[in-house]
């Protein structure tokens, strides 16, 4: 068969096209200085999709998106597409975007209960990794309403209850899951852990109740001991009323006993039923102080002074603070009154003074100590009662 002879006109046209192409290069190709950036715009080669797709910037990607999420498709197809998208985000550990995708799938309200159960369960998993345990628990609960035997939902629900410290509920969810699959390893492990934590929690609750009861009994014993000694108690509201009685202040006083003062000491009673009180010694002359956390009610002031001033303190440069040269005064802050205490007096003698009262919420005392010359100036113009 003979070949047709080349058409001269066609050859001329091809030559013309090639000549034109040499002078006017193809404009749709990649630029040498930006080819990597332009390569990234091709959907197939994108390393990371933009969070928002601009049709002008990414026309190919916008076209694909319109095809994938075509509203004309059935709700089931659209929901499945969002589920797959959420799964991809989940694999990348982008849990926030995964939640958004699963939520969009649920919004399609498709009639496939199994698919909706998976969307709820998957969203619960994403919420769990975000630390939103209650939201995750709500999702697995919704999944089980659609599919009661959905084992993944039960496992994730038990995990959420563990994180929320609902140990009894975690055990219940594990038991329900084990009825479906008695050999499910995760449920067996979680049940053992939840049961142990539940028992520990119950033990701690019992111990806390016993401790509370013990403290209440101790406080009541303290209150009875105080009343037996005729120590006057006053509330904050009754401080100004010198004739206020201690009746009805039991509850207030017990509240005060249950909270430690700033020095970390509390009123206490020993095995013989004798009381010890927190007492703060003030030395206004030198702006110094000493704190006795447990001043026994039968102890004498001179006994403590002998210990505290057996050696001259570094701040007493004039060596005036010797036990035999000190005066002791109890201070009533609210009445701005002082009670002169003979050093050989006991604490109980002061507490039983007919005019002295103990403030209910602060069962601690201020004792002013000073040398005789200083005390004469310090007490000038102030009302002083004598404790015998």
* Whole-number Å distance between alpha carbons of 364 and 202: 37
Residue 35 lies in a domain: no
Residue 147 lies in a domain: yes
- pLDDT recorded at residue 189: 95
Residue 357 lies in a domain: yes
Does pLDDT of 179 surpass 60? Answer: yes
Give phi and psi for 341, each to the nearest 5: -115, 120
- pLDDT recorded at residue 102: 94
The residue range of the domain holding 268 is 253-386
pLDDT over 70 percentage in the chain: 64
Tell me: do 185 and 79 sit in the same domain. yes
Tell me the pLDDT band of 118, cut-offs 50, 70 and 90: very high
- pLDDT recorded at residue 194: 94
Give phi and psi for 54, each to the nearest 5: -95, 115
Residue 244 lies in a domain: no
Question: CA quadruple 220, 222, 224, 226: dihedral positive or negative?
Answer: negative
- pLDDT recorded at residue 136: 96
Residue 355 lies in a domain: yes
Q: Are strands 384-386 and 337-341 parallel, antiparallel or unpaired?
A: parallel
Q: Which is higher by pLDDT, 101 or 229? A: 101
Residue that is last in its domain, among 168, 200, 232 = 200
Euclidean distance between the first and final Cα of the chain, in Å?
147
- pLDDT recorded at residue 258: 42
Residue that is last in its domain, among 155, 174, 200 = 200
Does pLDDT of 260 surpass 50? Answer: no
What is the mean pLDDT of the segment spanning 286-306? 87
- pLDDT recorded at residue 103: 94
Residue 54 lies in a domain: no
Max mean pLDDT among 124-133, 225-234, 235-244 falls in 124-133
pLDDT over 90 percentage in the chain: 34
Tell me: do 323 and 258 sit in the same domain. yes
Tell me: do 175 and 273 sit in the same domain. no
* Radius of gyration over every alpha carbon of the chain, rounded to an integer in angstroms: 43
Tell me: do 193 and 268 sit in the same domain. no
Does pLDDT of 97 surpass 50? Answer: yes
Question: CA quadruple 143, 144, 148, 151: dihedral positive or negative?
Answer: positive
Residue 305 lies in a domain: yes
Tell me: do 177 and 257 sit in the same domain. no
Question: CA quadruple 224, 225, 227, 231: dihedral positive or negative?
Answer: negative
Residue 273 lies in a domain: yes
DSSP state for residue 4 in the 8-state scheme: P
Residue that is last in its domain, among 167, 200, 233 = 200
What is the mean pLDDT of the segment spanning 68-97? 85
The crossing angle, in degrees rounded to 10, of helices 113-129 and 75-91 is: 20
Residues with Cβ < 8 Å from 132, sequence gap 6 or more?
none
Tell me the pLDDT band of 263, cut-offs 50, 70 and 90: low
Tell me: do 193 and 259 sit in the same domain. no
Domains contained in the chain, number: 2
Question: CA quadruple 149, 152, 155, 160: dihedral positive or negative?
Answer: negative
Tell me: do 87 and 181 sit in the same domain. yes
Tell me: do 357 and 260 sit in the same domain. yes
CATH code (residue 287): 3.10.20.90
CATH code (residue 180): 1.25.40.10
Rounded to the nearest integer, the mean pLDDT of the chain is 77
Instruction: Output the 3-class SS for 356-372.
Output: CEEECCCCCEEEEEEEH
Q: Please list the residues that pair with 327 across neighbouring strands.
A: 370
What is the mean pLDDT of the segment spanning 154-167? 95
Residues with Cβ < 8 Å from 385, sequence gap 6 or more?
337, 338, 339, 340, 353, 355, 356
What is the mean pLDDT of the segment spanning 310-330? 84
Tell me: do 186 and 101 sit in the same domain. yes
């Amino acid at each position: 068969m003979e070949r047709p002879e080349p058409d001269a006109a066609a050859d001329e046209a091809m030559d013309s096209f090639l000549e034109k192409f040499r002078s006017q290069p193809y404009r749709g190709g990649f630029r040498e200085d930006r080819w990597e950036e332009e390569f990234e715009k091709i959907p197939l080669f994108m390393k990371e999709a933009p969070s928002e797709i601009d049709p002008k910037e990414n026309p190919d990607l916008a076209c694909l998106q319109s095809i994938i999420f075509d509203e004309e498709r059935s709700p089931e197809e659209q929901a499945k597409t969002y589920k797959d998208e959420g799964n991809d985000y989940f694999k990348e550990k982008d849990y926030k975007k995964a939640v958004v995708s699963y939520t969009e799938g649920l919004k399609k309200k498709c009639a496939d209960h199994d698919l909706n159960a998976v969307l709820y369960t998957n969203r619960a998993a994403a919420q769990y990794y975000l630390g939103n345990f209650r939201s995750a628990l709500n999702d697995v609960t919704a999944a089980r309403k659609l599919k009661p035997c959905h084992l993944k939902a039960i496992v994730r629900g038990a995990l959420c209850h563990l994180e929320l410290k609902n140990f009894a509920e975690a055990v219940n969810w594990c038991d329900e899951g084990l009825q479906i699959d008695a050999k499910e390893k995760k449920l067996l492990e979680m049940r053992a852990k939840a049961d142990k934590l539940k028992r520990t929690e119950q033990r701690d609750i019992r111990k806390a109740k016993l401790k509370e009861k013990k403290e209440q009994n101790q406080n009541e014993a303290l209150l009875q001991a105080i009343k037996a000694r005729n120590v006057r108690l006053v509330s904050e509201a009754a401080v100004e009323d010198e004739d206020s009685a201690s009746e009805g202040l039991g509850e207030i006083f017990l509240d005060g006993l249950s909270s430690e003062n700033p020095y970390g000491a509390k009123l206490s009673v020993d095995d013989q039923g004798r009381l010890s009180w927190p007492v703060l010694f003030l030395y206004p002359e030198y702006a110094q102080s000493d704190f006795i956390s447990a001043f026994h009610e039968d102890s004498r002031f001179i006994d403590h002074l002998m210990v505290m001033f057996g050696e001259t303190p570094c701040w007493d440069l004039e060596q005036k603070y010797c036990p035999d040269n000190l005066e002791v005064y109890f201070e009533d802050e609210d009445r701005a009154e002082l009670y002169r205490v003979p050093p050989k007096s006991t604490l109980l003698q002061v507490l039983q003074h007919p005019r002295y009262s103990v403030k209910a919420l602060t069962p601690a005392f201020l004792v002013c100590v000073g040398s005789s010359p200083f005390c004469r100036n310090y007490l000038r113009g102030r009302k002083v009662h004598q404790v015998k």
